[in-house]
Amino acid sequence: MSPLLLTMSVLLAAAMIVAGIVTIRARTISIAILASGAVSLFASVMFLLLAAPDVAMTEAAIGSGLTTFLFFFVLGRIRSGNYD
Amino acid sequence: MIKHVIALLLLIGLGAVFAGLMVGYTPDTVLNYTANYYAEQTASEVGAANIVTAIIVTYRGLDTLGEVTVLFLTAAIIALVLKRDRQPGFEAQHGWPPSGELLHTGSRLLVPLVLLLGVYVFVKGHLSPGGGFQGGAIVASSVLLMLLTDPLRRFSHRLIAVIESGSGLAYVGIGFIGLLLGGGFLDNRILPLGSLGDMFSAGAIPVIYSLIGLKVGAEFSSMMVNLSETEEQ
């Protein structure tokens, strides 16, 4: 692994850890959802660096795309006051 | 307090396991036997520029059929569980908060582009990274974006079901044609292989992967639509 890739990987890992801490420490739920989406986004870039573009696409589409959307969708439902 | 200690211990344990794996890891300098076979034979046997796709769709095609079946079962179970609560003809007209100008205008621009990207990803699965599963998820995320913008939007269940079961049937049908004309179930050589890297190459792989993409997209979309409609009572 070249020094540039190594530096980027370490930075990405640090960013993932920070985003994970923000997820569990966030004051509002929307920030927590965004931060957990960011963890997936950093993870997908990490997969790209590890030469696995197929896995990176799956992670970006499902982990950071669909899951984040779904969480916001459910959050919107709960906020509109329609729970059973 | 005790909760935190347990969580900390659990974290340290996990960290120790991963550290052990990391220390004991030495990267391979040469490809192992199976990987070597795939790397050398894919271009001549399957004709796909993307070796991952060749493995997923052709060499391990049956496993992919199993994965698609698992996803289908998940979608079917979600539909079954949520359907119980739904009353026909019940039109929810709750006062939804308006979704906002930014989301509305942005999604009008983004939905066609996202849909196009999804189709591009699964149609070019044999040439570039990605394929049916990734493309299907991207297509479904455009459906979810539409639902996010307008929660009361109605999607045709019949259309989703027709796309889903039609592409599933066609997928299995192509598999059986491979059994009759090619070397085995889901053999891609029922269509000419073409030259490596062309749009129309790799035999039946683009067709199969497009069908998988449509099926996965329809399954994810039906999950979203079911989830969205049941919540509305």
The confidence score (pLDDT) of residue B19 equals 92
8 Å CB contact between B205 and B57: yes
Angstrom CA distances, A61 to A22, A23, B210, B217, stand at 22, 20, 17, 12
Choose among B94, B144, B231: nearest Cβ to A66. Answer: B144
Domain membership flag for residue A9: yes
Q: Do B148 and A66 touch (CB under 8 A)?
A: no
Closest partner residue to A72 (CB to CB) among B96, B133, B148 is: B148
Measure in Å the smallest separation between the Cα of B27 and chain A Cα atoms. Answer: 11
Query: Smallest Cβ distance to B129: which of A57, A72, A82?
Result: A57
Q: Per the domain annotation, does A20 fall within a domain?
A: yes
Q: Is A84 within the bounds of a domain?
A: no
Asked if A61 lies within 8 A of B134 by C-beta distance, the reply is: yes
* Helix A67-79 with B205-230: angle, nearest 10 deg: 10
The more confident residue out of A32 and B152 is A32
pLDDT of residue B47: 76
pLDDT, one tens digit per residue, over B73-132 is: 988 888 888 776 555 544 555 555 667 788 888 888 889 998 998 888 888 877 888 788
**Structural domain boundaries enclosing B16:** 2-88+97-230
List, as ranges, residues 22-81 from A with C-beta within 8 Å of B: 53-54, 56-58, 61-62, 65-66, 69-70, 72-73, 76-77, 79-80
Question: Is residue B161's pLDDT more than 60?
Answer: yes
Question: Within a domain: residue A11?
Answer: yes
Give residue-wise pLDDT tens across range A37-59.
999 999 999 998 888 888 888 88
Q: How many domains does chain B have?
A: 1
More confident residue, B200 or B218: B218
The pLDDT of residue A82: 53
CA of B180 to nearest chain A CA: how many angstroms apart?
31
Among partner residues B94, B134, B140, which is closest to A82 by beta-carbon distance? B94
- Would you tell me how many other CB atoms lie within 10 Å of the CB of residue B111? 16
Exposure string of B51-79, with b = 16+ CB inside 10 Å and e = fewer, is: bbbbbbbbbebeebbebbeebbeebeebb
Can you tell me the distance from the alpha carbon of B83 to that of B228, in angstroms, rounded to the nearest whole number? 12
Q: Domain total for chain A?
A: 1
Range of the domain at A70: 3-79
pLDDT value at residue A80:
67
Give the whole-number percent of chain B exceeding pLDDT 70. 91
Say what the pTM is. 0.78
Residue B148 at interface with chain A, using a CB cutoff of 8 Å: yes
